[in-house]
Amino acid sequence: MDRLGLDGAVLGLRPMWACPRIAGQVIPVRLRRARPGERSERHLGTAAIESGGPGTVIVIQHREHDQAAGWGGILSLAARARGVEGVIVDGLCRDVDDSREVGCPVYARGATPMTARGRVVEASSGEPINVGALRVNPGDYVIADWSGVVFIRADVAERVIETAEALATREAQMAEAVRSGRSVIEVMGATYESMLGEAT
């Protein structure tokens, strides 16, 4: 992404348990604060789960309530049953133990015991959202692991993959050089600092 001059990293999103790395196409959901007495036609996130499956990641914009959860245990169970790769919440989640027990990876800004009921409703599903400072669209790609979360626009995904593969090959060669006994100063000083500026 750096080599191509693209933004994509979102800071502050972290795994809620010892999650595996997840990757897939984004199914966006936007939540908002509920108005007094408001009732939603469906529970938040359920439409995204029903449209999801293997190769998809549910990504939730949840910025309007800083105490209530935007995801919970029953949703994790349902998402796992559909084969969804995982969930990313730009906000808080709950029922972390339940998500861990069913094996549903959840990345979020933190956890809370407070339910969404009566506090948060779904504003949209399958439409563009904002995550951090990024605009994220349906069908964009996302990768999340213990280092953080990176979004890749669908229209540049092929170029990003080609560039990432080239960099991974170069880093594998560098690692092998270090294992063979070459000085890490020599290996990284001669190659690493120039990698981002080189053409693929």
For the chain, which residues make up each domain, given as ranges? 9-152, 157-197
Residue 5 confidence (pLDDT): 81
Residue 99 confidence (pLDDT): 98
Residue 193 has pLDDT above 70, yes or no: no
Residue 125 confidence (pLDDT): 98
pTM: 0.89
Across 7-11, 38-42, 143-147, least confident range: 38-42
Per-range mean pLDDT, top range of 93-102, 165-174, 191-200: 93-102
Residue 192 confidence (pLDDT): 63
Q: What is the mean pLDDT of residues 116-127?
A: 95
| Contact (Cβ atoms closer than 8 angstroms) between residue 27 and residue 48 | yes
| Contact (Cβ atoms closer than 8 angstroms) between residue 59 and residue 26 | yes
User: Phi and psi of 179, rounded to 5°?
Assistant: -65, -30
d(Cα 65, Cα 10) in Å, to the nearest integer? Answer: 19
Residue 13 confidence (pLDDT): 98
How many other CB atoms are found less than 10 A from the CB of residue 47? 17
Classify domain 9-152 at the CATH class level.
alpha beta
Burial pattern 171-185, b for ≥16 Cβ within 10 A else e, equals eeebeebeeeeeeee
d(Cα 44, Cα 48) in Å, to the nearest integer? Answer: 9
d(Cα 94, Cα 70) in Å, to the nearest integer? Answer: 8
How many other CB atoms are found less than 10 A from the CB of residue 162? 12
Residue 195 has pLDDT above 80, yes or no: no
